């Protein structure tokens, strides 16, 4: 009996080790050093082929509340928001009309970016979604799965 129990325990330990290794591989493959993932099939107003990333804005650049604008008037700016550690980074953005905001889920759990005027739907780990802001105003949003995750985009 004792030998049978020891074999079961070692099999359970091996299974736990395999799960841990797969989790680490998944996290590393979704890190900022991994190859970019494909966008989910949804986009707003523009096809992905029509969008050109003009400026990738680090979170610190927009936390001060400075507007983010396109480098060229004819090309749309893309501002990135990361969903990680159960928060939006940055939590607030100030952008000009015509700016595209892209939300990327950098967490292991699904998230949404949902407001009265837009909804990303469920974004799994590593997935992204874009929305073009065509009207001025303040757009508060949240994650429907995690109501404490809140953000706001102010469009001038």
Rounded to the nearest 10 degrees, how much is the dihedral formed by the CA atoms of 122, 123, 125, 126?
170
Does residue 96 surpass a pLDDT of 80?
A: yes
What does 43-72 look like in DSSP terms, one character per residue?
Answer: -SSS-GGG--------HHHHHT---B--SS
Global pTM? 0.55
> Each residue of 45-59: pLDDT tens digit?
444 444 444 444 444
Question: What band does 77 get if pLDDT is binned at 50, 70 and 90?
Answer: confident
Asked whether the predicted pLDDT for residue 142 surpasses 90, the reply is yes
117 contact partners, CB below 8 Å, separation of at least 6? 139
Indicate if the pLDDT at residue 116 is higher than 60.
yes
pLDDT of residue 12: 59
Task: Please state, rounded to an integer, the average pLDDT across all residues of the chain.
Answer: 73
Kindly report the CATH class assigned to 48-155: mainly beta
Residue 139 has pLDDT above 80, yes or no: yes
What residue spans define the domains of the chain? 1-34, 48-155
């Amino acid at each position: 009996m004792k030998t049978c129990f020891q074999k079961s325990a070692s099999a359970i330990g091996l299974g736990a080790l395999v799960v841990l290794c797969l989790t680490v591989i998944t996290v590393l493959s979704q890190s900022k050093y991994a190859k970019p993932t494909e966008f989910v099939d949804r986009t707003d107003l523009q096809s992905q082929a029509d969008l050109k990333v003009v400026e990738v804005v680090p979170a610190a650049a927009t936390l001060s509340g400075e507007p983010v604008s396109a480098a060229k008037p004819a090309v749309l700016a893309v501002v990135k928001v990361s969903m990680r550690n159960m928060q939006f980074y940055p939590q607030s953005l100030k952008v000009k009309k015509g700016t595209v905001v892209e939300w990327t889920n950098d967490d292991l759990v699904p998230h949404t970016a949902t407001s009265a005027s837009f909804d990303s739907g469920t974004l799994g780990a590593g997935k992204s979604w874009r929305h073009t802001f065509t009207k001025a105003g303040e757009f508060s949003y949240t994650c429907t799965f995690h109501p404490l995750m809140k953000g706001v985009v102010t469009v001038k």
